[in-house]
Amino acid sequence: MNAVLLGATRGMGRALARLLVARGDALCLLGRDPAELERSARDLQVRGALAAPPPAFPCDLARPETFAPALDAAAESLGRLDVVVVTAADFAVQTVLESDPDRARALATVDFANTVGFCEHARQILLSAGGGTLCVFSSVAGDRARSSVVLYGAAKAGLSAYLEGLDHRYHRQGLRTVCVKPGFVRTGMTAGLDPPPFAGDPDRVARRVARAIDRGRPVVYAPAVWRWVMLVVRHLPRAVMRLR
């Protein structure tokens, strides 16, 4: 398949890109750092034994004006887009966001409004070609409001709801949405934080996501245990959640 990945230079996105290229998929990389894009493309060239590095184009979730040009260039480069994957996101702990209103506003904008804006461009391209898969990384933080992730969780809750709405509206037209809900995964984004039980690693997450894309599963938790953890958390009384 032909896949475009926004955020493939680090963490879970990098692991997924390596997995996809190893199995023979054609990739196009999007990201905000040209040097990181070039390094990632050359890494994938070696791992996939490719004649040339995968094409790569600048795209920054903080700059909506980059979305359409990047996706158009990716479509022209690959010929057809079968899958668009968004792993890029912003993250900061609640204490930092509460003490810095500008930082909080920037995170909410990138993780919800701008991610939705990017997905809207991708949706139009996929539907114009008869359909395809839009795979976006949300988070278990959006499943239930918690005191430790008030702002980040709210942005991810909105993103998850948006993806479910797309599934309801466009499924019959050939659009498949895959909402990935990672729990705590050991990546650069979570460096310095104490890992909870069931912490995952990027390679295992990548394998679950690739299977979900192939099977068209609308929601996937990674690691898998988080599906059951969040089932319990969603049904805890509000009085219990206030104590957490």
Share of the chain above pLDDT 90, in %: 82
Q: Look at strands 132-137 and 175-182 and give their pairing.
A: parallel
Tokens of 11: 């963490």
**Full residue range of the structural domain in which residue 39 is found:** 2-241
- Which of 58, 85, 79, 77 has the alpha carbon at shortest distance from 3? 85
Confidence at residue 183, expressed as pLDDT on a 0 to 100 scale = 80
User: Which pLDDT tens digit goes with each residue over 125-145?
Assistant: 999 999 999 999 999 999 999
- What is the spatial distance between Cα 60 and Cα 139, in angstroms, rounded to a whole number? 20
Rounded mean pLDDT, 5-9? 94
Rounded mean pLDDT, 69-88? 96
221 is catalytic: no
pTM of the model: 0.92
Burial annotation 39-61 (CB, 10 A radius, 16+ → b, else e): ebbebbeeebeeeebbbbbebbb
Confidence at residue 209, expressed as pLDDT on a 0 to 100 scale = 95
Name the β-bridge partners of 134. Answer: 84, 177
Q: DSSP secondary-structure letter at 8?
A: T
Tokens of 102: 């500008």
DSSP letter string over 32-97?
Answer: S-HHHHHHHHHHHHHHTT-SSPPPEEE--TT-GGGHHHHHHHHHHHHSS-SEEEE-------HHHH
Domain count within the chain: 1
Q: Which member of 152, 162, 170, 221 is catalytic?
A: 152
CATH of the domain at 107: 3.40.50.720
Confidence at residue 15, expressed as pLDDT on a 0 to 100 scale = 93
Confidence check: pLDDT of 150 > 60: yes
User: Which pLDDT tens digit goes with each residue over 89-113?
Assistant: 999 999 999 999 999 999 999 999 9
Residue type at position 19: L
